[in-house]
Structure 1
Amino acid sequence: MQTEKVVDHIVSWLKDYATKANMNGFVIGISGGIDSAVTSTLCAKTGLRTLCLSMPIHQERGQVTRGEKHIEALKHNFANVSDLEVDLTPVFENFKSSMPVTQASDSLDLTLANSRARLRMTTLYYFAGLHKYLVAGTGNKVEDFGVGFYTKYGDGGVDLSPIADLMKSEVYEIGKYLNISEDIQSAPPTDGLFGDSRSDEDQLGASYDELEWAMHMDESGKTLANFSGREAEVFGIYKRLNTANQHKMHPIPVCDIPFHLKK
């Protein structure tokens, strides 16, 4: 990958899109992970106003600290960067207490995790509306179009996606070029939606390198019959998630009413 040229291309694309849309800048949720670190840096490099939001909800402290350090470094390097912390923990707890009492289960845990992501999306759009900013998405290609590892109308609810055509490994390559801090580059990827330190790999059952391989194999027309052992296991994980999450990757289905019924 021609990293410098890719960075210049994304920065130019971001600035051109915002200018044509008559918007003042960008707002990004900062998680302490590589995707939000790279995305916020690319937005900052446009020279347009860039608001970095920290939105902890019972967050594991290490994630918050990495995000805070990244924001401070951005503010030091770019005069157009500002930040805010919005502690959504009380909002989340109030939301939970307002819901009917439900017995704990895996589905409840996942539903609440997705609710956290949707509270953050709402917060991002609150500030976007106040300042005429665009909400910049932080999803990469394997998450957004491979396994669908994001929350519909949560972290998937954005105005534009600057790194969604980049594999996770390519995001890391850009992060290294942009001098993203080593503690972020070396941290195990996590969505931070469960209030603990579980990683993305813990949830997915495969690493991003493995899922990228599976995505390439799938795109080249390979099937499960082509693999054995760990490769077969990873390919099976990829296909299962890709199939189950197709509803996230396509536009909202519209029920077309036959013309003769509208007469």
Structure 2
Amino acid sequence: MNSEKVALYIVNWLKEYATKANVKGFVVGVSGGIDSAVTSTLCAKTGLPTICVEMPIHQAVSQVTRAQDHIAQLKENYSNVSDVRVDLTESFETFQTAFATSESNALKDLTLANTRARLRMTTLYYIAGLNSSLVAGTGNKIEDFGVGFYTKYGDGGVDVSPIADLVKSEVFALGAVLNVPESIQNAAPTDGLFGDSRTDEDQIGASYDELEIAMQQTKDGVTNTDLSGREKEVFDIYTRLHRNNQHKMNPIPVCEISEDLKN
């Protein structure tokens, strides 16, 4: 991939879209990960007002530090970049207390993780509304169209998706040419939604490099009977998640009523 050309193309695409939409600029949730770092840098390079938003909820110190270092670097290099920090920990705790139970299980933990993502989405849209701006999504191709590794109406609730046609390795390649801080380039990808050290690979059961191969194999018509060992295991993980998360990737189903029924 020619990373320089791809970066320039995305920057021009973002600027043209914002101009046609008659908005001032972009709002990006910055987490300390590679996807949000690349997305916020691309938005900054448009020259349009770009607001980087930190939204910690019991966040690991390392994630907070990476996010703050990245934002400081952007502000130093781009006069159109500003930042907002909204600590959502208290809001999350209030929500959690309203539904407090003594139970603790995987389903509850996942639901609360999704709640964190939805609180952040609401915050981004509030800030975007005040500033006549678009919420720029930070999802990549594997997450958005491969395994559906995002929260519906959480980090999946955005106005534009500038890097959603790039797999993770391509996002990292962009990060290198965009001079994203090395601490972010070297960090293990994590959604940071559980308040612990688990990575995306821990949750999914496969690395992004492995998932990229599985995604290509499905496009090439490969089936699990053609594979063995770890390759087959990852392929099965990919196909299972791709199938189970179609409700995120497909448009919301509409129950269409015929005129015959209405009359």
Query: Is TM more than 0.5 here?
Result: yes
1:157-168 alignment, distance < 5 Å: 157-168=157-168
For 1:60 and 1:91, the matched residues in 2 are separated by 18
For 1:3 and 1:191, the matched residues in 2 are separated by 25
How many angstroms does 1:102 deviate by? Answer: 5.4
* Alpha-carbon spacing, 1:55–1:256, altered in 2? closer, same or farther (3 Å): same
1:75-154 alignment, distance < 5 Å: 75-101=75-101, 103-154=103-154
For 1:197 and 1:53, the matched residues in 2 are separated by 22
Report the equivalent of 2:172. Answer: 172
For 1:214 and 1:135, the matched residues in 2 are separated by 30
Do structure 1's residue 258 and structure 2's residue 253 form an aligned pair? no
2:50 aligns to what SS in structure 1? Answer: strand
2:52 aligns to what SS in structure 1? Answer: strand
Structure 1 residue identity aligned to 2:149: F
Report the equivalent of 2:204. Answer: 204
Do structure 1's residue 6 and structure 2's residue 14 form an aligned pair? no
Between 99-108 and 21-30, the greater mean CA deviation after superposition: 99-108
1:170 aligns to what SS in structure 2? Answer: helix
For 2:216 and 2:203, the matched residues in 1 are separated by 21
For 1:51 and 1:179, the matched residues in 2 are separated by 19
**Root-mean-square deviation over aligned CA pairs:** 0.7
Structure 2 residue identity aligned to 1:92: F
For 1:32 and 1:74, the matched residues in 2 are separated by 13
Q: For 1:141-179, what per-residue CA distance to the aligned partner results, in whole angstroms no more than 9, with x for missing partners?
A: 000000000000000000000000000000000000011
Q: For 1:198-242, what per-residue CA distance to the aligned partner results, in whole angstroms no more than 9, with x for missing partners?
A: 100000000000000000001111110010000000000001100
Report the equivalent of 2:243. Answer: 243
TM-score norm. by structure 2 comes to 0.99
How many angstroms does 1:92 deviate by? Answer: 0.1
How many angstroms does 1:196 deviate by? Answer: 1.0
For 1:143 and 1:26, the matched residues in 2 are separated by 22
For 1:197 and 1:78, the matched residues in 2 are separated by 32
How many angstroms does 1:101 deviate by? Answer: 2.3
For 1:102 and 1:249, the matched residues in 2 are separated by 34
How many angstroms does 1:100 deviate by? Answer: 4.9
1:118 aligns to what SS in structure 2? Answer: helix
Q: For 1:97-116, what per-residue CA distance to the aligned partner results, in whole angstroms no more than 9, with x for missing partners?
A: 11252511100000000000
For 1:138 and 1:165, the matched residues in 2 are separated by 11
Q: For 1:169-201, what per-residue CA distance to the aligned partner results, in whole angstroms no more than 9, with x for missing partners?
A: 000000000111111000000000001111000
Structure 2 residue identity aligned to 1:68: Q
1:217 aligns to what SS in structure 2? Answer: helix
1:28 aligns to what SS in structure 2? Answer: strand
2:84 aligns to what SS in structure 1? Answer: strand
For 1:98 and 1:184, the matched residues in 2 are separated by 36
For 1:90 and 1:26, the matched residues in 2 are separated by 26
For 2:128 and 2:62, the matched residues in 1 are separated by 27
Report the equivalent of 2:230. Answer: 230
For 1:108 and 1:255, the matched residues in 2 are separated by 30
Report the equivalent of 2:26. Answer: 26
1:84 aligns to what SS in structure 2? Answer: strand
